[in-house]
Structure 1
């Protein structure tokens, strides 16, 4: 029993050090939430468009650290509304562009966007002028009806940056022409880069899809009634589909904002289960099938959480809950059916696994079940931390300091922060960027260490910081 308790503690502490803890996640969530609001102000002013920017994915959930995961940014175009059922005139608030969700000949949770109305363009100075102009080039006429393509860049906020400053010049754009517009942004004086995915989103009125989830019968106490009520209040989105060239008219109903609410409600052990399974997916399962995504893992944790009493997610039962997740995933892979947690009719494994990949992933899961905690304690992230400790080398300290430096800007008040972002984009060299942080950002951080997050910046001099950050 003592050996088992030590094993659990070892696992628990290792996942803590990787950022999978509730206190650590909460701090990052607050910073990313502020970053999204700050960026919304910046892009609204820069593009003269009605834009809300939300940071989703692992970073929005508070568990994305360093440079190991993408920065997923949702550009929600507020001048557009999509309707499952068009409202009556007496209750109708008009938008610059309005679409009907057309579900004919589409899979569960997918649709096409049929144009209902579009605001007439006036002058180039008018709000959303560029967006509406771009939208005209993305309209496809079919049987006399207008549908919106998903493969065009509609918002100016997602267009390639003008190469006028160091940050813009350091950006490397992916050749992908799909709806997600990925690129990398280098970190000054380092070998690292942030990978960024931008996705255009529209709000939609589709009350039944949320209500069906809220009304679903559940055996246990997760999610709580308070969380269910919170989910009722979030926006439903439509996002582009980019899996094949034949799907240029396909859009997907997205409950990503509801999923953020659910992920934010995880307790400390649920987060660690999520983290352990993500590590296994990245370092083991994806070697057998590249389509085994962290999004699938998140849905596994959602399902396991709903099917398990909340009191069972405690430190002493961490390994049991990780095992539950692996067993549930194995069943899904074996049957070729992983239901989306929010929209169960959508199968996340559909067309994702060949027969050979399926067999190999099943072998991987069985090996992990047999190996127990050793399966993820041998993941590169944990091995690197152990090797650094033995060798006296600390690449992790560099990553932590680099992350603190980047995040520090996003703790400023919104209006001040938006102005600082504008200034940052105007800087001509990497040295100017470093000087900007040393003179404008770090002194403010050292005054009060927001969220008690910036320990490296507050405990080190500028010279010490430069010595760590420079190669």
Structure 2
């Protein structure tokens, strides 16, 4: 046991060196939240964006995963009680109709039609009349309308492949790539007032101290949404919409401690390499729900750095049980089974066998992640090379995040308190371990940025502050 605890601590330290420690995770969360805030200031009032997925959670580095963006149309509202919606005459209002819909899904019956978002989407063209006075919004029509508009935009002269649209279906999202390097999944959604599921989540009995009462209260105040995708087994999935608590889930992941955050990162990466080839439905969202259930149903005090491997094994055992039972309840909506009608008997057998094999590997399981495997190889062969590699990786990621903050602070329409000194720009970077001289030697971009600071801010003490923060 002591050996496993020691190895867990060592693996945790290596992940810190690879920029998966709590300082870098927190910094990425802060920077991407500021980016989201600034983008929403630039956008018109009829819509706003929500950064979702691993980027918003701060779990992945630059270009390590797709960027997930949800565009929310604020002038379209769906509610269990449409009469409670304010200014309903000016808005497009739908009533949620969960009768005959799969758990976690709803039909949207039209109550009032306002003006169309973008001026190009006409809501009446996307409605389906099931019976007299029973008119519903089609999720397929909605998604395909935006998808076709995106394809048309990508084919405009002079685009040069800036937007290549994947024509395959990926749940509710539209996949876009830029120059074959930047990948983005876009979802077009709107706000849904759904107290039925939210109140059930808030009031359910919990035996341990996570999530705390304050966190539950905070999550309950965040907006929920509907996204255009139906239940896979439904004969009317083209009419169904999925209810999701994206903002709440992001906040819950951000509240996880260092051990659980690293377990989630490891579980996602190991599943991507070992389980996803067996079934495309072994997604990162499945792994996130496993970790959230693990956090709620176990003593939170046991999730410590020296138990990292034990907690990772526990999460895999929980995943195996769910696959065997063919039932993984959604963390926010337990009535919704995330594995229902997704895995064949052969796939379930192969996944369980693969998990058993992974568990027998013990701490070596982390070597399934190529990044960790390469890091351990460098540590074993040339420790100095790993020191240089980890330092360079940290510098590059810090520069990227610093550059985003610097651009945001210069925006004429910035949505948060303007930065007047480098100290404020670098408020989230007190843990940097390199100097201005290292900056200039390592990166011409940083050298240019420092000279820009001298010219633009015109503050003689700015560089001294920068040196203090980066020393």
State the TM-score bracket (shorter-chain normalisation): 0.7 to 0.9
What is the CA-CA distance between 1:384 and the residue it aligns to? 3.0
Superposition TM-score, scaled by structure 1 size: 0.80
Indicate yes or no: 2:214 matched with 1:222: no
8 Å Cα contact 1:78-1:202 kept in structure 2 = yes
Report how far residue 67 of structure 1 moved: 2.0
Q: Note the C-alpha offset of 1:356.
A: 1.1
- How far apart in 2 are the matches of 1:120 and 1:349? 38
Q: In 2, Cα distance between the equivalents of 1:407 and 1:195?
A: 18
Q: Mapping of 1:74-153 within 5 angstroms?
A: 74-87=70-83, 94-119=89-114, 128=117, 130=119, 133-144=121-132, 145-151=134-140, 152=142
How many Å separate the matches in 2 of 1:447 and 1:351? 51
- What SS does the corresponding residue of 1:338 show, helix, strand or coil? coil
Q: 1:251 to 1:2 in 2, by over 3 A?
A: closer
Alignment check: 8 A CA contact 2:366 2:373 kept: no
Rounded Cα–Cα distance in structure 1 between residues aligned with 2:201 and 2:226: 17
Judging changes above 3 Å, is the alpha-carbon distance between structure 1 residues 387 and 158 closer, same or farther for their aligned structure 2 residues? farther
Q: 1:183 aligns with which of 172, 176, 187?
A: 176
**Equivalent in the alignment of 1:382:** 372
The aligned runs of 1:71-470 (5 Å cut-off) are 71-87=67-83, 94-119=89-114, 128=117, 130=119, 133-144=121-132, 145-151=134-140, 152=142, 159=150, 161=153, 169-176=161-168, 179-186=172-179, 193-241=181-229, 247-387=237-377, 407-408=401-402, 410-412=404-406, 416-417=410-411, 449=426, 451-452=428-429, 459-461=438-440, 464-465=443-444
User: 1:448: how far off?
Assistant: 5.0
Supply the distance in 1 between the matched residues of 2:311 and 2:231 (Cα, whole angstroms): 33
Indicate yes or no: 2:63 matched with 1:67: yes
Cα deviations by residue, 1:224-268 (Å, 9 ceiling, x for unpaired): 111011111101111110676962221001011111111111011
Q: CA deviation at 1:412?
A: 4.5
Whole-Å separation in 2 of the counterparts to 1:183 and 1:169: 10
CA deviations 1:242-295 (Å, max 9, x no partner) are 676962221001011111111111011111121221122111111221210111
Moved more, 217-226 or 396-405: 396-405
Quick one: distance in 1 between partners of 2:435 and 2:402?
9
What is the DSSP-based 3-state SS (H/G/I as helix, E as strand, rest coil) of the residue aligned with 1:460? Answer: helix
- Cα distance, 1:370 vs. partner? 1.0
Q: Is the 8 A contact 2:409 2:425 kept in 1?
A: no
| Residue 36 of structure 1 pairs with residue 24 of structure 2 | no
Question: Which residue matches 2:460?
Answer: none
For each residue in 1:285-341, what CA deviation from the matched residue of structure 2 results, as whole angstroms up to 9, or x when unmatched? 112212101111111111111111111111222222112111111110111000001
- Give the Cα separation in 2 of the matches to 1:447 and 1:208: 43
- Whether the 8 Å CA contact 2:106–2:240 is kept in 1: the answer is yes
Instruction: Count matched residues.
Output: 428
1:352 is displaced (CA, Å) by: 1.6
Contact 2:18 2:394 in 1 (8 A): no
Give 5+ residue unaligned stretches, structure 1: 122-127, 187-191, 421-443
Residues of 2 paired with 1:120 and 1:15: CA distance?
A: 50
In the alignment, structure 2 segments of 5+ residues that lack a partner are 415-420, 447-471
Q: Is the 8 A contact 2:94 2:112 kept in 1?
A: yes
Counterparts of 1:342 and 1:248, CA distance in 2:
23
State the alpha-carbon separation in 1 of the partners of residues 410 and 155 from structure 2. 24
- What TM-score do the two structures reach when normalised by structure 2? 0.80
Deviation at 1:119, TM superposition (A): 2.2
